[in-house]
Amino acid sequence: MKHSYQLLVVLLLPFIFQFLTSKADDLVYETFLNCMSSRNSSDHVSSLIYNPKNSSYTSTLQAYIRNQRFNKSTTPKPIIIVTPLYESHVQSTIICSKNMGMNLRIRSGGHDFEGLSYVSYTNFVLLDMSNFRSIDVNIEEETAMVQVGAIIGELYYRIWEKSKVHAFPAGVCPTVGIGGGGASFGVILSYKLQLVRVPEMVTVFRVVKTSEENVTDIFNRWQYVAEKMDNDLFIRLNLKPDHVNKTIRASFTAFFLGDSDHLVTVMDKEFPELGVKKNDCKEMSWIKSVLFWSSDDKAPLETLLIRSPSAKFAKRKSDYLQIPIPKNGIESIMQKMLELSVVGLAINPYGGRMSEIADWETPFPHRAGNIFKIEYSVNWDEGGPDIEAYYVNQTRQFYDFMTPFVSKNPREAYLNYRDLDIGTSGVGNNSYAEGKVYGQKYFKGNFERLVKVKTMVDPGDFFTNEQSIPVLKN
């Protein structure tokens, strides 16, 4: 009797546990809903608040997961998702989460390479800002008010609807989000942007070179000119291994604020090694150039409004360079790319307007003195822990290999290519010493000032994640 009784308890244990957990979840939901309703009794806030039992919980959660690595059954899920419609809902969500001692993750819905905006290993509420996506372009003022849930493709499209000679330079991939305050200080609702003027016609080209076509010499020359060339010209360099032909393919993609004759003149004078001819160049409107960069300038403009790209598995890392890489270094880098096989590089020159702003004027510190930034990029299509480990390991090996060529003390990194490998700190308990490790890489000298602001505005470290700005404790 005694034995069978024990057996029964053991057999029932998982169900009892599940039952209690489920009851606890219900209680959390009820308490949260009560808190939200008491602050907003007049409207139906319950239709904006999801728990895992709501049928649309999973689709709401998955709608803005941009990296399949964080779309697994084992990925921690929010206890509650809130999709606010009004500012007051955002305020209530912060207060109710705080009252209940839950971590808050704020998701604007753009790219997020480490999933910090929707994954937390502590009990958490997901504040999903996807309803906040209005864009109000004012050509008289040359400004745009943009809410954080919008993507830059939508912004570009809405500017183009109002004017063919205005633009905003924010990035080349249309599904990058407007938002991204770093989530250390609060929730950003919208930005007021200063538009820039562009000519009715701009010029682009994409010229591809392989190892057999002097790519080392051309890359070498690019390092000396790209950052200093005409301020109206931007040339990005992408390198990827071509295993079929056992070579590296280097694509030079350019954007020029002028016509093709002028561009060829500039190229002949400053970068003749690339051998750009007039028939490599294409003149088009600025909005078409956005499509040229992201996919294909023949695609319909409405492509820019597509908010849901097909999500892949992805890992990113970044570096900054202040000193050109010697030629034998370039050769060894290309050799390593072929050897490792899956890492691609996207290299953006700095200089121009980027260098005119002092390091300390905004939190973003990577200014004059940087010749370019490297993005290490790996995307893959198939899930599984071994596959993931293989791809992530390749980026780490490549990053280690690059150490002698890149910035040091600190080894600088780009916040928007978020990379947890460079250091993390306890959630809700960020320590200054741990925070300094990644904080100086992302913000250099500005880190100390950010810590001061953080300590003033959020001493309890409510707005926290694995790489947030820490509070200075006495």
Which positions lie near ligand NAG, rule CB under 6 A?
39-40, 42-43, 46-47, 49-50, 54, 56, 62, 65, 68, 71, 86, 88, 213-214, 242, 244-245, 311, 393, 396-397, 400, 426, 429, 431
Q: How many CB atoms lie within 10 A of CB 403?
A: 10
Q: How many CB atoms lie within 10 A of CB 420?
A: 13
- Residue 327 contacts residue 220 (beta carbons within 8 Å): yes
DSSP assignments along 218-285, one per residue: HHHHHHHHTTTS-TTEEEEEEEEEETTTTEEEEEEEEEESS-HHHHHHHHHHH-GGG---GGG-EEE-
- Residue 194 contacts residue 316 (beta carbons within 8 Å): no
Q: Which is nearer to ligand NAG, 140 or 386 (CB)?
A: 386
Q: Which is nearer to ligand NAG, 206 or 396 (CB)?
A: 396
Minimum Å gap between C-beta 288 and ligand NAG is 26
- Residue 417 contacts residue 348 (beta carbons within 8 Å): no
Which of 301, 278, 294, 303 minimizes the C-alpha distance to 203?
A: 278
Q: Which is nearer to ligand NAG, 128 or 412 (CB)?
A: 128
Minimum Å gap between C-beta 294 and ligand NAG is 19
Minimum Å gap between C-beta 11 and ligand NAG is 30
Q: Alpha-carbon distance 147 to 156, whole Å? A: 14
Rg, the chain, Cα only = 25
Would you report the helix, strand and coil content of the chain in percent, each value rounded to 5?
40, 20, 40
- Residue 336 contacts residue 401 (beta carbons within 8 Å): yes
Minimum Å gap between C-beta 2 and ligand NAG is 42
Q: Which is nearer to ligand NAG, 166 or 317 (CB)?
A: 317
DSSP assignments along 365-432, one per residue: ---TT--EEEEEEEEES---HHHHHHHHHHHHHHHHHHGGGS--SS----TTS--GGG----TT---H
Which of 204, 210, 278 minimizes the C-alpha distance to 248?
A: 210
Q: Which is nearer to ligand NAG, 10 or 244 (CB)?
A: 244
Q: Which is nearer to ligand NAG, 200 or 242 (CB)?
A: 242
Q: What are phi and psi of 464, to 5 degrees?
A: -135, 145
- Residue 49 contacts residue 93 (beta carbons within 8 Å): no
Going from the C-alpha of 448 to that of each of 315, 411, 427, 435, 452, the distances in angstroms are: 28, 17, 19, 10, 6
User: Could you tell me which residues come within 8 angstroms of residue 390 by beta carbon, excluding any fewer than 6 positions away?
Assistant: none
- Residue 425 contacts residue 466 (beta carbons within 8 Å): yes
Q: Which is nearer to ligand NAG, 160 or 398 (CB)?
A: 398
Q: Which is nearer to ligand NAG, 62 or 362 (CB)?
A: 62
Q: Choosing from 320, 391, 417, 442, which is the catalytic residue? A: 417
Q: 64 an active-site residue? A: no
Please give the positions annotated as active site.
417
